[in-house]
């Protein structure tokens, strides 16, 4: 692997959700530790599963990996980091201020902006504070899906500039109150990120046009911060031998090779490594060692594979949804499991049934137009995207035109400065999300959500807003908040989308438990891209299909409703192919 020829001290793995960043980060850490290096593996993903890969609890403290001498790991838990951050701010004034003011400060520090700042503090410390990583030859970052990673990598520069300009004195007073002391560390993080002799950025993708386009966008956006990609790794490519004499295998192999041959121009000149699809899921040390071990040994077909009994088609779920005539349908889950495809299939089918439908995405890396293949202007179907950049611009313009309308020049200047806070994005995106939730009173709103960690932060914002409204409403007043609509099963139907693999199912199960604690009951599960549900003669596919029974049974034990979608010969792009997904 060329990206490991001369490994730098810091290595980042980033790319669209579900492409195998965690597997590659863990396999790289293992390879370096096996070579006698001291390695720290860090996950900055809100939905981290590094502990699941190594079969032990990791958590928010540096923990030795029992099975790998020389390897330690750390999962930066956003909620734990935020709790510690809040306590550092509130602790010194607890007992000095009235309880009502403490409650107000606590609420101000409960949003997703605080969570991101808290995680960011730990992230930058590892880059710039020598005392935290001095004992390691390499620090490897398994980063969150692309949209979050871009925000995280840009934050050191953003916060440094924000502090230099003296901003953040109103709406961000709480979250920003702990930042000033970190100015030197932030500057050191910026330096480390932009220095190719210290830091390598590895862009991870699947052999799919959308996945490759995503890392090209990542490379372009990060170039504005002075960060240049060091390598591209295309993961999970079907070996030629595994595709022979099987129509599904041949179709998958053909479209993968076409995607590789047509790589985006923005990636020209970046070294490329290709990793073949392996027979085993990447759980455990033995499987991880095989990932970077060269050519794949195709297993012998023992003939034991049988097609799984399909409990329901996606069409059956859609027909049940259609009975209500309106409502919010949210497709949620880990990145890369096919939420966009499932959401598009649902929206398209509802529109074909004659219902007005609005299809939207809250995923910073989501691209509905690509999935719909340019066919978005269907009868009864409209589309939108919650774009954080546009949301912030719209929000700033609205505030300036309302609150700033009657201010003098000096007052408008102060207001404009306050609106430059990075925390403004939290408010702006939540406002757009709230409008979409409300829109479902009159029509169907089908929402392709951001990967799990982002969505939970959005839910957290909804919960904070609900508590604030409830606290300030006079007794006996009727009101409805977005959180109350999300908790109403007659209004909101949440579909948990996953893959028939251990880790995605575990993560979706954790998401279901988190939602239930918030009073939100998921309506159905969808298992996507199942080989056990596909008709295939490929020995590699059949071997992997045999590993799906455990994850599928785990979902059956939890799901009130379940649909299983097979891996398809035709990639589901364009409205004409969504019938294959749904039926």
Residue 172 has a pLDDT of 47
DSSP H or E run through 479 = none
Higher pLDDT pick, 1 / 427:
1
Annotated active-site residue 498? The verdict is no
Residue 575 has pLDDT above 50, yes or no: no
Catalytic, out of 17, 20, 111, 463: 20
Catalytic, out of 14, 17, 23, 210: 23
Annotated active-site residue 294? The verdict is no
Residue 107 has pLDDT above 90, yes or no: no
Residue 510 has a pLDDT of 81
Residue 9 has a pLDDT of 93
Catalytic, out of 15, 45, 453, 536: 45
| Alpha-helical regions (H) of 445-494 | 452-472, 482-487
Q: Which of 7, 561, 563, 18 is nearest to 282 (CA)?
A: 18
Catalytic, out of 16, 21, 339, 493: 21
Residue 474 has a pLDDT of 65
Annotated active-site residue 17? The verdict is no
Residue 168 has a pLDDT of 45
* pLDDT tens profile 241-270: 888 878 999 999 999 999 999 999 989 889
Annotated active-site residue 366? The verdict is no
Catalytic, out of 14, 22, 211, 361: 22
DSSP string of 522-549, one letter each residue: --EEEEEEESTTS----HHHHHHHHTTH
Confidence of residue 234 (pLDDT cuts 50, 70, 90): very high
> What CATH number has the domain spanning 314-387+445-582?
3.40.50.300
Catalytic, out of 17, 18, 236, 404: 18
Annotated active-site residue 460? The verdict is no
What letter does residue 229 receive in the DSSP assignment?
-
Confidence of residue 309 (pLDDT cuts 50, 70, 90): low
The Cα–Cα gap between 478 and 144 comes to 40
* pLDDT tens profile 42-96: 988 766 788 888 989 898 889 999 999 999 999 887 778 888 878 887 888 788 8
% of the chain residues with pLDDT over 90: 30
Q: For the purposes of burial, counting CB atoms within 10 Å of the CB of 306, is it exposed (0-12), middle (13-18) or buried (19 or more)?
A: exposed
* pLDDT tens profile 122-147: 778 788 777 788 889 999 998 865 55
Residue 419 has a pLDDT of 72
What is the average pLDDT score of the chain? 81
* pLDDT tens profile 471-493: 555 666 666 778 888 889 999 99
Catalytic, out of 230, 455, 503, 538: 503
* pLDDT tens profile 279-291: 888 888 988 998 9
Residue 359 has pLDDT above 60, yes or no: yes
Residue 95 has a pLDDT of 81
pTM: 0.76
Confidence of residue 583 (pLDDT cuts 50, 70, 90): low
Residue 327 has pLDDT above 60, yes or no: yes
Residues of the chain with CATH 3.40.50.300: 7-203+281-291, 314-387+445-582
Confidence of residue 326 (pLDDT cuts 50, 70, 90): very high
Confidence of residue 170 (pLDDT cuts 50, 70, 90): very low
Query: What CATH number matches the domain at 7-203+281-291, 2.60.40.1930, 3.40.640.10, 3.40.50.300, 2.60.40.10?
Result: 3.40.50.300
Q: Which two tokens stand for residue 222?
A: 């990060």
């Amino acid at each position: 692997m060329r990206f490991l020829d001369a490994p730098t001290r810091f290595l980042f793995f980033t790319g669209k959700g579900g492409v195998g960043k965690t597997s590659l980060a863990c396999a790289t850490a293992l390879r370096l530790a096996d070579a006698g290096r001291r390695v720290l593996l860090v996950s900055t993903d809100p939905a981290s599963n590094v502990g699941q890969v190594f079969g032990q609890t990791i958590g928010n403290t540096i923990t030795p990996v029992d099975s790998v001498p020389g390897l330690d790991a750390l999962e930066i838990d956003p909620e734990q980091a935020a709790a510690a951050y809040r306590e550092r701010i509130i602790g010194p004034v607890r007992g000095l201020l009235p309880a009502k003011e403490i409650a107000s400060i606590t609420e101000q520090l409960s949003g997703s902006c605080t969570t991101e700042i808290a995680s960011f503090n730990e992230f930058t410390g590892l880059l710039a504070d020598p005392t935290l990583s001095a004992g390691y030859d390499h620090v490897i970052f398994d980063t969150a899906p692309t949209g979050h990673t871009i925000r995280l990598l840009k934050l050191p520069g953003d916060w440094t500039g924000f502090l230099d300009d003296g901003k953040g004195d109103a709406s961000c007073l709480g979250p920003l109150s702990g930042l000033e002391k970190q100015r030197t560390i932030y500057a050191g993080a910026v330096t480390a990120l932009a220095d190719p002799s210290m830091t390598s950025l590895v862009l991870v993708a699947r052999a799919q046009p959308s996945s490759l386009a995503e890392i090209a966008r990542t490379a372009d956006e990060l170039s504005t911060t002075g960060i240049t990609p060091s390598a591209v790794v295309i993961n999970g490519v079907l070996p030629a031998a595994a595709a022979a004499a099987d129509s599904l295998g041949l179709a998958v192999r053909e479209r993968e090779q076409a995607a590789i041959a047509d790589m985006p121009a923005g990636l020209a000149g970046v070294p490329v490594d290709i990793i073949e699809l392996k027979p085993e899921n990447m759980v455990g040390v033995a499987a991880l060692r095989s990932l970077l071990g060269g050519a794949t040994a195709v297993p012998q077909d023992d003939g034991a594979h049988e097609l799984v009994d399909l409990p329901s088609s996606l069409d059956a779920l859609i027909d049940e949804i259609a009975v209500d005539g309106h409502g919010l349908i949210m497709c949620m889950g880990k990145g890369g499991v096919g939420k966009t495809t499932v959401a598009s299939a649902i929206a398209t089918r509802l529109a074909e049934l004659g219902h007005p439908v609005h299809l939207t995405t809250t995923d910073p890396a989501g691209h509905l137009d690509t999935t719909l293949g340019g066919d978005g202007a269907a009868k009864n179907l409209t589309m939108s995207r919650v774009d954080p950049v546009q949301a912030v611009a719209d929000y700033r313009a609205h505030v300036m035109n309302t609150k700033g309308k009657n201010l003098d020049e000096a007052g408008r200047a102060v207001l404009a400065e306050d609106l430059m806070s990075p925390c403004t994005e939290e408010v702006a995106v939540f406002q757009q999300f709230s409008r979409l939730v409300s829109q479902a009173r009159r029509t169907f709103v089908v929402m392709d959500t951001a990967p799990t960690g982002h969505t939970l932060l959005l839910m957290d914002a909804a919960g904070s807003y609900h508590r604030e409204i409830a606290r300030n409403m006079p007794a006996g007043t009727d009101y409805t908040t977005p959180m109350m609509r999300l908790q109403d099963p007659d209004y909101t139907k949440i579909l948990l989308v996953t893959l028939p693999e251990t880790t995605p199912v575990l993560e979706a199960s954790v998401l279901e438990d988190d939602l239930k604690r918030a009073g939100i009951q998921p309506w159905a599960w969808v298992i996507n891209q199942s080989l056990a549900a596909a008709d295939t003669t490929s020995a590699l596919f059949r071997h992997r299909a045999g590993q799906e029974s455990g994850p599928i049974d785990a979902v059956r034990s939890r799901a009130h409703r379940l649909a299983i979608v097979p891996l398809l010969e035709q990639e589901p792009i364009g409205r004409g192919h969504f019938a294959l997904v749904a039926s």
